[in-house]
Every structure is written in C-alpha cells, then in structure tokens.
Amino acid sequence: MSVANDQRHVIAMEVEDKPGVLTRISSLFSRRGFNVESLTVGHTHKPGISRFTVVVLGEEKELEQIRKQSQKLIHVLKTCHVVDKDTLTEFELEQIGMKVKHGVMRELAIVKVHYDEQSSRPINHIVERFSARMLHWSGYDLLLEFSGTEEKIDAVFEELENVTVLESVRSGKIAMSVEPIKAV
C-alpha cells in the first residue's frame, strides 16, 4: 500500500446483528492490511440490524476491494463507500467514480473540564462558540457534549488546549449517504 496516495475513506455497512459480526469485520480489515482509524457500531431503526461506520486509510482502488470483501461476509447486508459532501468538489467526486456516494458525517465528543473562576471565561467562550451542551456539573468539573463534523471537533480540541481537560472521548465518525432511497 503506497503511503503517498493514502486517503481517508469511510465505509458504511448495514449488518445482521449476529454474534461475532464485529470480529468478522474488524479481522477482515486487519488481515487485508488496512488500519482502522475509527469504527462505530450501533443499532438502527430496524430490529436486528446494526450499522457500522468504518474510517480507514488507504488507496481508492484498495478501498473498493475491501468493500467488496466485506460485502461477501454472510451477515453483511449492504455496504457503501461514502465521501464527505463538504470536503470534496464535484470534480473530485467524479474522479473517484460512480460507486462512491455523497454523504454527511458527524462525530460526538464528551469532555470533562476543570471549571473555576479562572477558567470560566475561556470555557464559556468554547461552549458558546461550538454550541456545547452542558451534561453535568459536579461543583468542580463540568461535562460538555459537542457534536458536528470532524473538523469542528478538531477545532474544539484545539481550543480546549487553553483549559484543563481531565478526560475526553470522541465517538468516531458516523456517516450516511445523502442519496434518495426508494421506500420499500
């Protein structure tokens, strides 16, 4: 795998919620030589169906191969290679080809910061600027929730360098294609 052409790609999958399906998918990525940057799993509105969003580094061509290999897993129902609607131009999308779908992507972060008189100003500023939700106040520590694009969360973490962060967690991306689907 050539490092120079490596790009970040997102593969979204709908899978049957069967024992071991997480291992099947993650081990497939690792044995075909892909590094998973983030992997998010959760239930969907359909009972027994889960949704995976996998962010990987790799070349376009290799990504198509790993998507096809994932699609072959018996418990995988649908796979789709999604690119961020906001970061690619129409021309770039055309270059990548038809199989890739335009999508929106979001990430969630929860951060525990030390809150006192001194840090109140910069924290209030961050809360306001990034429309954070305040989840819990212990009297000393404040739990904040941020959501948005990866770039926004990156910017949040940059700003947070000015205050005392005690703990933080990012959910990893979730993605959905914007293309219309006919109701079945």
Partner 1 sequence: MSDGSNKTLPEMTGAEALVRLLEARGVDVIFGYPGGANLPIYDALRGSTIKHILTRHEQGSVHMAEGYARVKGQAGVCLATSGPGVTNLVTGLADAYLDSIPVVALTGQIPRSMIGTDAFQEVDAFNITMPVCKHNELVKKETELVKAIDGAFYIANSGRKGPVLLDFPSDLLAETHHYDLEERCHLPGYQPTTAGNIGQIKKALKAIDQAERPLVLLGGGVSNSMAVEEFLSFVRKANIPVVRTLMATGVMSSDDPLFMGMIGTHGNGLANQMVNSQADLIMIVGAKLSNRSLMRPDLFTKGSKLIQIDIDPAEIGKTIQVDIPMVGDIRETLREVNNRIEQKPIRVDKPLWCEKKHVKSKTMLAKANEAEAMEWVFDRLSEIDQKLHVTTDVGRHQVWANHHMINPKHLPLITSGGLGTMGFGLPAAIGAWFADQETSVVNITGDGSFMMNMQEFIVAVEHQIPLTVIIINDFRLSMIRELQDSKYGQRHIAHDFNRDVDFSLLAQGMGGVGRTVFKLDDIKPALEEAIASKVPNILCIDLERLFRLSKINLVEAS
Kindly state the helix (H) or strand (E) to which residue 90 belongs, with its residue range. helix 90-96
Residues 6+ apart with CB under 8 A from 87: none
Kindly state the helix (H) or strand (E) to which residue 108 belongs, with its residue range. strand 100-114
DSSP state of 179: S
Considering the complex, state which of residue 61 and residue 182 has its C-beta at the smaller distance from partner 1. 61
Task: Decide: helix, strand or coil at residue 109.
Answer: strand
CB of 37 to partner 1, least distance (A): 22
CB of 66 to partner 1, least distance (A): 9
Which tokens hold the place of 65? 């191969």
Q: Say whether residue 7 binds partner 1 (CB under 8 A).
A: no
Considering the complex, state which of residue 19 and residue 139 has its C-beta at the smaller distance from partner 1. 19
CB of 61 to partner 1, least distance (A): 8
Considering the complex, state which of residue 77 and residue 155 has its C-beta at the smaller distance from partner 1. 77
Compute CA 10 distance to the chain's CA centroid, rounded to the nearest angstrom.
8
Considering the complex, state which of residue 50 and residue 107 has its C-beta at the smaller distance from partner 1. 50
Q: Provide the mask over 11-40, with x wherever binding to partner 1 is found by CB under 8 A and - wherever it is not.
A: ----xx--xx--xx--xx--x---------
CB of 53 to partner 1, least distance (A): 18
Distances (CA, A) of 163 to 76, 86, 140: 43, 30, 13
Task: Give the Cα separation of 152 and 158 in Å (integer).
Answer: 10
Radius of gyration of the chain (CA): 19
Compute CA 49 distance to the chain's CA centroid, rounded to the nearest angstrom.
19
CB of 97 to partner 1, least distance (A): 12
Q: Provide the mask over 60-79, with x wherever binding to partner 1 is found by CB under 8 A and - wherever it is not.
A: -x--xx--xx-xxxxxxx--
Considering the complex, state which of residue 45 and residue 61 has its C-beta at the smaller distance from partner 1. 61
Residue ranges binding partner 1 (CB under 8 A): 15-16, 19-20, 23-24, 27-28, 31, 61, 64-65, 68-69, 71-77
